[in-house]
Amino acid sequence: MLNSLKFLLIPALVSISTSISAQEQDLFSTVRSGDVFATAPQNRVAAPGRITSANQIRERLNRTGFQSEVTGSREVELKKSLDPFTFPILISLSPDESSISIVMGLRSMPDTEKLDKQTLLRMMQLSQKHAPIGMGWNHERSRTEFYTVLRNVNLTGERLRETINRMAVIAVENQPLWFKESPKTTQQQLPISAEKLIGKWAASRSNTEAFAIEFSAGNRFVLVYANGTSQTRSEGTWSITNGQLALNGTGFELRGWFEFNSGTSFRFAPPTGSPLSFEQVSSSNN
């Protein structure tokens, strides 16, 4: 099925026009632009009080400059950008409404990749140093994370914002701890080279969901996403910095961990969702 999806997607790359609707959605995750450190309007300070719903969390966050979305009766999601990273944030209200938990995703990792004892020890030390913010591994989401729990008493949007900002600063300052490759993985990888990326690539998440992307000279890309019988197209510029592949298009910015598995395949791990393995369909020499 993957091969049939590839044949459907690749012709679509050729026919893409240079005019892309600003309403087209980002295919992996949407990152809203804006300075999250901007001063909140003085006349819109969130009133303190007990939070009883996800909508109240969203309202208080949005008043401080964040753009958050309700994803469940007790959950809110948003993005926090601090150059050069963009972190997914999950905020949850406990069932008894006594506390609010904040989780910041760091690095997606496959189940086969293990954290060594030294890394686990350093994660424990960092958690002790920055308590009540802790660092750990989430098996369900297959990633390393920062997490903290706040008492649901007079909790303002500013307090939530300050906590998220602090978590992001700690994450960037401790990048070597959570963004590194094991020696075994490094030996199997090829050096990151922009020239090797030029060409057409395809990946799939299921029998009905697939991606095709073309990287061209001049750091331009064209991306086609197929889900069932529908297709979505995006285009923009790309770059590779510090092991991250960045895609910048109209109205969105996407960064994820990037590594070559072989001369004809690479792995891309977006901030949310499972990693994608792209296979080369054609190179710049074809």
Tens of pLDDT along 234-284? 899 998 876 778 888 877 778 777 777 666 888 887 766 667 888 998 765
User: Do both 103 and 126 map to the same domain?
Assistant: yes
Is there a single domain that holds both residue 106 and residue 93?
yes
190 and 177, same domain (yes or no): no
Task: Confirm whether 238 is domain-assigned.
Answer: yes
Based on the domain organization, do 108 and 156 belong to the same domain?
A: yes
Domains contained in the chain, number: 2
* pLDDT number for residue 59: 92
pLDDT tens, residue by residue, 204-235? 888 888 989 999 988 899 989 888 888 888 89
pLDDT of residue 21: 41
Q: Is residue 44 part of a domain?
A: no
Strand order in the sheet with 85-93: 69-72, 75-82, 85-93, 99-108, 143-151, 134-138
Tell me which DSSP letter residue 73 carries.
Answer: T
Q: How far apart are the first and last CA of the chain?
A: 24
Are residue 131 and residue 70 in the same domain, yes or no? yes
Q: Helix, strand, or coil here: 268?
A: strand
Same domain (yes/no): 74, 173: yes
Please report the pLDDT score of residue 242 as a whole number: 67
What is the structure's pLDDT at 270?
A: 75
Q: Domain boundary residue among 149, 183, 217?
A: 183
Please give the average pLDDT of every successive group of 10 residues along the chain, which has 286 residues: 52 46 39 35 54 92 90 89 84 93 83 70 89 86 88 91 92 81 36 73 88 90 88 88 80 77 77 78 66
Rg of the chain on CA atoms, in Å: 20
List CB contacts of 60: < 8 A, sequence separation 6 or more.
46, 51, 155, 156, 157, 160
Residue 208 backbone phi and psi in degrees, to 5:
-120, 0
Residue 42 lies in a domain: no
Last residue of a domain, one of 136, 167, 183: 183
Q: Of 183, 211, 243, which residue sits at a domain end? A: 183
139 and 61 belong to one structural domain: yes
In a domain, 89, yes or no: yes
Number of Cβ within 10 Å of residue 178's Cβ equals 21
Residues 152, 164 within the same domain: yes
Contact, 202 vs 212, CB < 8 A?
yes
- Which CATH number covers residue 232? 2.40.128.370
What was the pLDDT predicted at 285? 57
Q: pTM of the full predicted structure? A: 0.49
At CB < 8 A and 24+ separation, what contacts does 180-184 make? 181/259, 182/113, 182/114, 182/116
The rounded distance, in Å, linking the Cα atoms of 177 and 173 is 9
Element spanning 261, H or E = strand 252-262
Are residues 177 and 197 located together in one domain of the fold?
Answer: no
The pLDDT of residue 265 is 84
Residue 151, domain extent: 54-183
